[in-house]
Amino acid sequence: MIALHTEPVPTVLVLGGTGEGHALVKTLRTRFGTQLRVITSLAGQRAESPEVTYGTWRTGPFRGVEDLIAYLREKRIAAVLSATHPFSETIARNALRACKICHIPHLTLSRPPWVCTDEDRWVEVQDMLEAARKLPSIGSRAFLTIGIRALPIFLSLEKMWFLIRLPRKTPLSFSSDQVAPHRLVIGSGQDGNDLLMMRIHAIDVLVTKASGGAATFGKIAAARALALPVLMVRRPPSTETAKTVSNVMAAVAWVESNIRQFSERLRSSLKD
């Protein structure tokens, strides 16, 4: 019998959890097929996320840099593509550091931020604490689209009413009678109803993060149409040494230009 020798298939790790991450994984699978193994890491995401229908996946956060390093070495990862949320500072920093230690190529896919136009009334702030300090002087009925972690900072404000949007049902660490009056809305904001919802609830200020992207631009467009002020929390500063692209096809092109290097790296590691 003649032994068949097959070329080893390199593995890339995609740090996902975003629409861009989903599109990237899907496009990689379409472009490279069996030439490339793709593992998607979803920190805090549910297993039914659409990203996990392509390739292999893991869920749950990495426990610091050392945990990530161990995973990269165990799975013989040839490259890491970070497609996390622009405000996911910890994993972005840890991924870059782990890749440097392991001498693994790293690429960040970061969606472009929204651009303030002459029709917008943005008040840009550095962080959530500054936003909470300024909010009472700007409005009294606020639409909060900031995630769950910073909610207590705002809900302790007196004489405010809040419309709060969360992407999914999440247990809250406070009871309704302990905080400012509010209403919860569950969803992604992609249903196109932001303008109507903000009118119905007489919203007079939007509080959001400079996340960027088309999927959640509806709230920005609605605030613009209603001539409402927007308290915009700036993005955290990007890691200066991270190689970054702004769209999925640029990330795929980077993989394509480096796939031979990935294969060579894998063959070398298999000899060790």
131 and 220 both lie in a single domain? yes
Q: Has residue 84 been placed in a domain?
A: yes
Q: Give me the pLDDT at residue 179, please.
A: 79
For residue 4, tell me if it sits in a domain.
no
**CA distances to 76, 156, 170 from 130, in Å:** 43, 14, 25
Is residue 29 domain-shared with residue 128, that is, in the same domain? Answer: no
Please tell me whether residues 219 and 241 are part of one structural domain.
no
17-61 pLDDT per residue, tens: 888 998 999 999 999 988 899 999 987 655 445 545 566 878 888
| Residue closest to 256 by CA, chosen among 137, 79, 114, 50 | 79
Distance, in Å, from the CA atom of 15 to the CA atom of 94, rounded to the nearest integer, reads 11
pTM: 0.83
Nearest to 82 by CA among 10, 11, 13, 19: 13
Dig out the tokens for 260 from the structure. Answer: 């031979």
Q: Average of pLDDT values for 232-259?
A: 87
Q: At a CB cut-off of 8 Å and minimum separation 6, what does 223 contact?
A: 120, 121, 198, 206, 229, 230
Mean pLDDT of the chain: 86
Residues 108 and 125 in one domain: no
Residue 5 pLDDT greater than 60, yes or no? no
What is the model's pLDDT at position 71? 95
Q: 138 and 126 in one domain?
A: yes
- Whether 26 is covered by a domain: the verdict is yes
Minimal CA–CA distance to 207: which of 237, 229, 174? 229
Both 185 and 131 in one domain: the answer is yes
Whichever domain contains 137, its CATH number is 3.40.50
3 belongs to a structural domain: no
- Do both 191 and 229 map to the same domain? yes
Statement to judge: residues 226 and 245 lie in one domain: no
Rounded to the nearest 10 degrees, what angle do helices 19-32 and 248-271 cross at? 60
* Residue-number span of the structural domain to which 211 is assigned: 121-233
81 domain-assigned: yes
Say whether both 21 and 101 belong to one domain: yes
What's the confidence (pLDDT) of residue 215?
83
- HSE at residue 163, side-chain half, CA atoms within 13 A, is 20
Q: Above pLDDT 90, what percent of the chain?
A: 56
Note whether 252 and 31 are within 8 A (CB). yes
Instruction: With respect to residue 2, please indicate whether it lies within any of the assigned structural domains.
Output: no
Residue 89: which pLDDT band, with cuts at 50, 70 and 90?
confident
Which of 148-152, 169-173, 229-233, 242-246 is the most confident on average?
A: 229-233
51 and 15, same structural domain? yes
Same domain, yes or no: 134 and 228: yes
- Tell me which of 271 and 217 has the higher pLDDT: 217
How many structural domains compose the chain? Answer: 2
Rounded average pLDDT over 178-204: 87
pLDDT at 264 > cutoff 80: no
pLDDT at position 4, please? 43
Identify the CATH number of the domain in which residue 24 sits: 3.40.50.720
pLDDT tens-digit map of 60-84:
888 899 999 999 999 999 999 999 9
Query: Is 186 a domain residue?
Result: yes
Residues 6 or more apart whose Cβ sits within 8 Å of residue 135: 142, 154, 157, 160, 205, 207, 231
If DSSP codes are grouped into helix, strand and coil, which group holds residue 264?
Answer: helix
Q: Is residue 22 part of a domain?
A: yes
Does residue 241 sit in the same domain as residue 107? yes
Model confidence pLDDT, tens digit, residues 124-157: 999 999 999 999 999 999 999 998 888 999 988 9
